[in-house]
Structure 1
Amino acid sequence: MSLLFVRHGQASAGTDDYDVLSERGFAQSRRLGQWLAATGHEFDEVVMGGMRRHRQTFESIASSYAEQGKALPAARIERGFDEFDHHAVFDGFMRGNADHPAVVGSHAGGLMALGALIHAALGAWAEDRIAGVPESWSDFGARVRDAGERLAGGRERKVLVLTSGGVISRLAQHAMGLNDRGAIDLNLSLRNSGLCEFHLRPYGMALGSWNALPHLHDDRGLWTYY
């Protein structure tokens, strides 16, 4: 079995509605579809999380297939591949840690400051140090792991999965036996529209490749993380 996971295209951070692709996110997704179709990638099944950015990524990929006279299977929604509530995690961390260097530094803006804030917030969440988060770190990991095991069950097939960075990093954590810090580092490394391969082994899911961007090799301006 081959499972190709795609992190959604760039969403709309800093706007009133994060859960919609940015113009750059649509471009990333269309180019991914063009590359997948042109290089002969065919799938027996398409699965996606239930968020709008997941659906828009799929629709952009599917439109690129159609432009080349090809088609993807209809996508089914698997809510186990929904991303965690990042607003609850990050806002909760900032409210409870106003004097934390990562929170203070975030007010200045910039990519490095945002990365430091995300890293600190995820670390606190993993240690159950944020109040009011509707889903614990451990519950999120169990939800994602269960969804991955359901997907891996049954007959051999090639599956395309559209989801988010937190989901993919927790699957990789489970597959590789990493600690929570390793999962957080993997999460922060994932680029928008990046490709990650998993394969089914007798002992469970195994990671095949991580964070590839063959469809964006010629345009570094389309490499984004947030």
Structure 2
Amino acid sequence: MTEVLLVRHGQASLGGPSYDQLSTLGYQQAQWLADYLHAQHQLNPKAAMVVSGGMKRQQQTAEPILGHLGHTSALEQSGFKEFDFESVVMSYLELNPGYPLADKPTSNDLYRLLSAAMETWAESGLKLHAHQESWLDFHHRVAQAWAELQPLKDGRSIIVTSAGVIASILRQLLRLDNRATIQLNLQIKNSSVTRLHYDGSHYHLSGFNSVSHLEHPERLHAITSA
């Protein structure tokens, strides 16, 4: 049976010069994930391919996976790039200049802010600039990339992407509404694996947001979502 793994990138560099760059922990998460997938592959060898949305943090997460498979590069599908969450948040703050954001916001503060911004975006309540995607445009882009995907028959296709894209794919497959899509998005952990099986006509969800490679006492600190 055809297997598709949706992998979220490792922890990015939140607060650094560029978010689109794995943090030191993000690189470690990616390596642990690659080792885990390699062990699974040895137990159940299949033809495999790796697809990336092409963002730096996605490509950097894919690199150790490719190394274990003996591949030189991932196939790039720009439709699997993340939406520009920073511009969504900034557009929300422009509409809400009095939003109570601390000078040094905690992860919970940022979670609430992103949730509120995404809900407003989904309701077409943001004043978007010409370069910004609407909520529907984003999901249309992901759906088009998903439709163009040609997973390996009786093989394993690994898509290294981001939380918004994974939530969008599941939105399509599970027919989720806006609120459920946003809630799903905000749950997805760094370097997590969501597993799908394809029977030739339908995709079936068999695992969501798994971080088995991090569920060891010495690695629990590495379970992150930002």
Answer yes or no: same fold by TM over 0.5.
yes
Aligned partners of 2:113, 2:87: CA distance in 1, in Å? 14
Q: Match of 2:211, as an amino acid?
A: L
The count of aligned residue pairs is: 218
Any unmatched runs of 5+ in structure 1?
none
The Cα offsets for residues 155-204 of structure 1, whole Å up to 9 and x where unpaired, read as: 45320110000000010111111101000000000000000012224654
Q: In structure 2, how many angstroms separate the alpha carbons of the residues matched to 1:29 and 1:164?
A: 13
**SS in structure 2 opposite 1:12?**
coil
State which drifts further: 119-128 or 130-139: 130-139
The 1:214–1:159 alpha-carbon spacing in structure 2 relative to 1, beyond 3 Å, is same
2:12 partner SS: coil
- Residue 123 (structure 2) pairs with residue 127 (structure 1): yes
> Which of 138, 141, 149 does residue 140 from structure 1 map onto?
138
Given candidates 32, 52, 56, the residue that maps to 2:56 is 52
CA, structure 1 residues 132+8, in 2 after alignment: closer, same or farther (shift >3 Å)?
A: same
Q: Comparing 178-187 with 107-116, which one deviates more in the overlay?
A: 107-116
Q: Give 1:214 deviation, angstroms.
A: 1.0
Write out per-residue CA displacement over residues 105-161 of structure 1, whole angstroms, 9 at most, x where no aligned residue: 454511111100010011011011111251110111011111112115784532011
Partner AA of 1:213 in structure 2: V
Corresponding residue for 1:187?
Answer: 185
For residues 190 and 43 of structure 1, do their structure 2 counterparts lie closer, same or farther at Cα, with a shift above 3 Å needed?
farther
Partners of 2:221 and 2:77 lie apart in 1 by 32
2:168 to 164, 167, 170: 170
User: Which letter maps to 1:83?
Assistant: E
Residue range with higher mean Cα deviation, 105-114 or 170-179: 105-114
Q: Deviations over 1:83-125 (max 9, x none)?
A: 01112101111111123xxx31454511111100010011011
**CA 1:2/1:185 → structure 2, altered by over 3 Å: closer, same or farther?**
same
Structure 1 residues 21 and 141: CA distance shift in structure 2, 3 A: same
Contact 1:106 1:117 in 2 (8 A): no
Aligned to 1:199: 197
Q: CA deviation at 1:15?
A: 1.4
Identify if the C-alpha distance between structure 1 residues 152 and 200 changes in structure 2 by more than 3 Å, giving closer, same or farther: farther
Instruction: Find the counterpart in structure 2 of residue 117 from structure 1.
Output: 113
What is the aligned-residue identity percentage?
33
**TM superposition shift of 1:60:** 2.9
CA RMSD of aligned residues (A): 1.8
Cα distance in 1, alignment partners of residues 151 and 215 from structure 2: 34
Consecutive unaligned residues in structure 2, runs of 5 or more = none
Query: Contact 2:63/2:73 (CA < 8 Å) preserved in 1?
Result: no
- Correspondence 1:209-220 to 2 at 5 A: 209-218=207-216, 219-220=219-220
> Cα distance 1:125–1:203, how it changes in 2: closer, same or farther (>3 A)?
farther
Change (3 A) 1:217 1:92: same
